[in-house]
Structures are given as structure tokens and as C-alpha cells.
Chains A and B, each alone.
Chain A
Amino acid sequence: MFFFRIVMMSLRGLQTNLMRSLLAMLGVIIGVSAVVSAMSILSGAQKEIAERFESMGADQMIIATGSGRRQARHVSFDALKPEDADALIASCPLIIAAAPEFQNIAQVKHLQKNKQTQLLATTEAYSSMNDYQPAEGRFITREDDRAERKYCVLGYEIAGDLFGNLSAVGKRVKIDGQGFTVIGVMEKKGFLGFRQVDSQVIIPLSTGLKKLFGVKFVTMITAQAKDQELLDAAILQAKRSLRAEHRIRAGTPDDFQVFTREQAKEQVADFTQIFEIVLYSIAGISLVVGAIGIMNIMLVSVTERTREIGVRIAVGARRRDILTQFLLEAMVISCIGGIVGVVVGAAFADLLEQWTRILHTFTPPSAVLLALFMAAGVGIVSGIYPAIRAYNLDPVEALRYE
């Protein structure tokens, strides 16, 4: 009850010095809102990344060019060949499917409609491995690939963009100026891994490599193990097979890297940790600035209210009560700043989500708690010195103060 009264008293003080109090809070507001919005963005991203990883099979491995080792001297980006996928199936008993991929941006045209979109050159296995089926027509086959046919399968969204409600199957489109026949439209899927596949156009791998891109390598190969339990063994087989295929001598590092869903998750976790450290450093700095701001205002307040302090002591306040009052006052300023900061931060994250339409944000309750906790801490730290100054005032001199 006593503390409640004291808090009410300080609230009234803030009200009369509204502008000044707001300025004092500014540092805390900025610090807290930075933390809350960054945490919202971060946890939104983490949540989303986790979901994306779920759509990637736990029994799959991704083989990409490059060496896992950073100090590798010479890594060619063209090390992975389309034939490697066949070799994996042929020489690794634990690998039951492999889909080589080459990805690029392409211009897709139908009549007047023109779209820039993701183009994926791959093989038959892609559909079954990802459990991603055509809703209409058919997917590309081994035969389409072997014959280098100019066939394409449209993602759900791009089909709608180009053809509206009309059936796309059998129609002709131009991809980077070359004519293709639409043989199928895929089901609506959203994300596969980190790729938004609904706006993607799929063509046979050899057609893409030879007729569109003019290259002899692939960007990655997704391979599926017989069983999730056997994934590690399958990776060993794949590595041995690819080293043999690429004629890599013993003692020379791989010219490719293999990673699984779990490893990718760890990498992302490492990255987010770095992000978090940076974030908390920024938050820490702005909170220190906020604390200095509040301390400054509190010192001014103690000086301005010297007489008031004298009066309070004269009517029976103990020195301890004076200390408590100023400490609580600093905490009230800081916590109000904290609450405002939480609201501003969450709103900012929300706005960001609406503006960008890519970022998904999520304000976790822990962020709110942490922010308020920090604000209270800032209040104590910034209030203690001014409160001690008030505590040490001599009442007689305080009453005489002009």
C-alpha cells in the first residue's frame, strides 16, 4: 500500500513533466523496441526455417559443389555432373533415388503475359522424392530427359498467372525465347525446402543444360537413402562413389559437400546465434544509453525537488522512504518506457511483415518478459545514484534550498 502510494505519487510527477519524462524514456523505448522487434523477426524466421526443414526429408542428403572445408585451395563449381546421379544409384545400394538439379532465373512468356521466375531443370525422381505431384497432365519422364524434349511442367501459381482458369496442358510457352510445350501443372505446395515451388517452372535436365544453359554440370543432387536410420551409411557410400567418379586421389579433399537436414539446421542455428549476439550487443548499448538518460533526468529531478525532499522529511519521511521514492520513480519511468518499447517493437515487427510480405514475425512471450525485466534493471541502475543523492540530503538545508 505504501509503495503503491509512492508509485502513484511519481506517476503524477511524470504527468506534469510529460515531455521530459518521454524524452527520458526514449532510450529505453528504443532499446526495448529494438530487442522486441529483432526477437520477433528472429523467432519468426527460426519458426519458418524449422518448418522449411520439416518439408525436407529426414532421409535425404543434399550433395552440392564445393568443399566443406574452408581452406580448400581449389574448388570448381562445375564438379557435379548429371551422370553422378546415375552413378550414385548404380554404385550405392543404400541410395534408392537421386535427383540432379540445375536452377536458374528465366523469362516465361505466353501470348502477352510475361513472367520472370525460377526455372528448375531436373529429372523424374524429383517429383516422387519430394512427394510433389502434378495436379493435371504429367511430370517429366526419363524418356523426355533422354530425348531432350522441350516440355515443361508449371507450378500451380505460374500456371494461373499465365493461363488464368484455362487449362495449360498442351499449350505453348516461351522460356527465354525458346518454345516449350506444357505437359503438366503441379499441385499447390508452397515451399519445398527453401524454394517457393508454386511459381517454379520445371523442365527436363538435359534439355535445360544443353538447350538453355549451355553447361555440363548441375548445382546440386538430392539423394534419398533407403531408410532414415541408414542415412549416415548412405552418405559414406555416396562420398566413396563420388570420389571414385570424380577420380579424386587419396589425401585430396572432396570437390563436393554432403549435408543432411540436421546439419543444415545446425548451420542455421550457428548463424542465428551470431545474429543474436549482435542483437544483444546493440540492445545492451541502447539500454546503457537509456539508463544514462533516466539517470540524468532523475538527478535533475532530485535537484529540482530538493525542497520537496526537505518537506517530506519534515513531515515524517525516513531517509529510507526518500531513497525508495526516487528509486521507484526511476523504475516507473523505465518500466513505462519498457512497456511502450514492447508495444512499439511488436508493432514494428508486424508492420515489417506486412510491408515485406516475405518476413514472418512472431513476438514470443519470452521476448516481452525479457524486455520488461531489462527495463526494470535499467530503472534500478539508473535510479540508484540519484536516489542516494536524495537520501543524503540534509533536511534543514533542503528546506532552505532556493
Chain B
Amino acid sequence: MTVPKADDPTGLPVSAPNIVASPAGRSMIRVRGMTRVYRMGDATVHALSGVDLDIEAGEYVSITGQSGSGKSTFMHLLGCLDRPTAGTYELNGQLVTRMTDAEQARIRNKNIGFVFQTFNLINRTKAIDNVAIPLIYARERRTRDRAMKALEIVGLKHRWNHKPSEISGGERQRVAIARAIVNEPSIVLADEPTGNLDSRTGEQILDIFDRLNAAGTTIILVTHEMSVAARARRLIHMADGRIDADAPVTDALRTELLQSAVLGAAHFEGHVLTSSAAGIKNKKN
């Protein structure tokens, strides 16, 4: 299933994801009271303290917040890489928090694609072999064609035979995205995907996310950069393990975000959400 997109500058086909209709009108992602506490000896760190969140299929959400506010912790929980200390997580109507490790592995494999700040490619194998890894764990027989197709989506078909050390950082991240989408997941989780890239290269990555989202993939993206956050259609701000702002990215907000991007993120943290965006603060369902 490929969805050609008219306004796509690369004109490349994008695969439609494994969208599973949520039963009974429920959100695709439904998080309630999600808490993650780390115990380090006597001290306890509340990385996440009671997060409630719903995300619908096909959304494009960016999460911002200061360092240590719990963004990555939340992403790991959404990606079934970690289990919450308390709270529930429903994905497509299934209670993920009740699943066995093997069931969660299947969810990670089929429904979720991870993109990391540091790419996390396996350096000794070629791009195509990196992309094919999720297919191998899916016990797919023929992986080459699908891995090639994923590389084509990120515009790196011609680099299939190269090792990560032989390509640029931006290209590495595109290979990582190809790996994330090769199983046609419904959700792509990206934790600071442009954090290690210059802004122009970052743009290319964001273009790919735009296209994936246009084809129906839900994108959840953590970033420190306001210009990156402005690409999303919904903005979530976290502080101290809680969501303290959640708003759709309106044209007005986007303008403000882009302005603050010029002025620096600190301005956004202190100003945008407390003044002009105050109306959307603590929006609850």
C-alpha cells in the first residue's frame, strides 16, 4: 500500500502504516496516571508522576520540556521498553501494562518504530541489514525487498550497500528512520531525532516525518528546538514529570514558536506558555 503525495518534494511513495481502528471510539494511545519512580538506594526519583494523555491515530505530537522533565522516560513507556511504576497504558484498546514481555516485544516490533538522537545503528553491518533487523525479529522470510522499500522512502536507496561509518549523520538518521518504519508501524517515537544534526539536515529528517504523518503514521517527537516543535500539530510541554501544557499548534502558536526559536528555547519555556498560550494551558480531555 503506497500513498503518493502530491506536494511531496521528493515525490517518493510513502507506505501507509498498520493502522488499527481503536474500538469503541477510544483513542489509540490512552495513558492514565502513568508514574515512573526510580529508586536509587534510599533516594527516589519521580521521573514521571501521574501523566494522563490521549493521542489519536494519525496525530503529530511534539513533546518539549526542560532536561530531566521526564520526556525520555515517557517515550520509553509509550514504546513498551519500560513498565510504569503505576498507571495504565492502553494501545489500540489493549492494556499494554498487562502484557507479557514477549507480547510487548511484538508491539514494539509491529506497532512502534523508534528513532533515537544518536541513530543507534549497528556499525559493522550495511544500511540495508540495519533496516532489516525488525523484519528478522518479525520472523519475516524475505526481508531485502521491504528493507529496500523503506530505504527508498527515506531517499537512501542508493546507499543500501554502505556501512554507517561511510555515510553522513543525516543519512544515518534516515537509515534509522527506515529501520523504524520497515515494519510499517502505526506509531513512530522519535527522541530528539535532530539533536545531533545541523538545522538543514534536521529539515530533511522532519520532511520525512511530515510525509509519514501525511500517510497516516502517528508521530510523537521529543525536542528541545522550537523550530522542530513547530512542525507538529500538537504541542505538549512537560515539567517535573507532569504534562503542564498541551495545545494544538495553531498558526499563532507556530509563529510564536518560530520567533522563540530565534530568541532561544529559554524564552519559550518562560514566556510562550505562560502568557499568550495561557489559554491552552492544562487543557484536559
Residue numbers of A with Cβ under 8 A of B are 1-2, 5-6, 9, 12-13, 16, 307-308, 310-321, 395-396, 399
Contact = CB atoms under 8 A, between A and B. Distances in A.
Interface stretch (B8-16, B24-32, B118-126, B192-200): B118-126
Contacts of A399: 81, 116, 120
Interface in B106-159: 106, 108-110, 113-114, 116, 120, 122, 124-125, 129, 133-134, 136-139, 141
A316 B139 contact: no
A384 to B, nearest CB: 20
B102 A396 contact: no
A12 B105 contact: no
A396 B105 contact: no
B138 to A, nearest CB: 6
A321 B137 CA distance: 8
Nearest to B100: A318
A318 B141 CA distance: 18
A5 B136 contact: yes
A316 B79 contact: no
B108 A396 contact: no
A12 B124 contact: yes
25 contacts: A5-B136, A16-B124, A307-B120, A310-B120, A311-B116, A311-B120, A311-B122, A313-B108, A314-B81, A314-B114, A314-B120, A315-B108, A315-B114, A315-B133, A315-B179, A316-B108, A316-B109, A316-B110, A317-B105, A318-B101, A318-B105, A318-B137, A320-B102, A321-B137, A399-B81
A316 B138 contact: yes
B114 A318 contact: no
A108 to B, nearest CB: 69
Contacts of B81: 313-314, 395-396, 399
B120 A318 contact: no
B76 interface: yes
Interface residues of B, number: 29
Given A311-B120, A315-B133, A321-B137, 16 more contacts: A311-B122, A313-B81, A313-B105, A315-B109, A315-B113, A315-B137, A315-B180, A316-B110, A317-B105, A317-B109, A317-B137, A318-B101, A318-B102, A318-B105, A319-B105, A321-B105
Q: Which of B82, B109, B125, B136 has the most CB of A within 10 A?
A: B136
Contact of B134 (A2, A12, A316, A396): A316
A2 B102 contact: no
Nearest to A312: B133
B183 interface: yes
A6 B136 CA distance: 9
A12 B120 contact: no
A93 B110 CA distance: 93
Cβ-closest 7 pairs across A and B: A316-B109, A318-B105, A315-B134, A316-B137, A16-B124, A311-B120, A314-B114
A179 to B, nearest CB: 81
B76 A396 contact: yes
Contacts of A396: 76, 81-82
A318 B105 CA distance: 5
Contacts of A13: 124
Contacts of B183: 316
A315 B137 CA distance: 8
Contacts of B141: 1
Contacts of A311: 116, 120, 122, 133
A312 B149 CA distance: 21
A25 to B, nearest CB: 18
A287 B213 CA distance: 56
Interface string B57-93: 0000000000000000000100101100000000000
Contacts of A1: 139, 141
Nearest to A5: B136
A318 B100 CA distance: 11
Nearest to A305: B122
A314 B108 contact: yes
A313 B102 CA distance: 11
Given A317-B105, A320-B102, A396-B81, A312 B116 contact: no
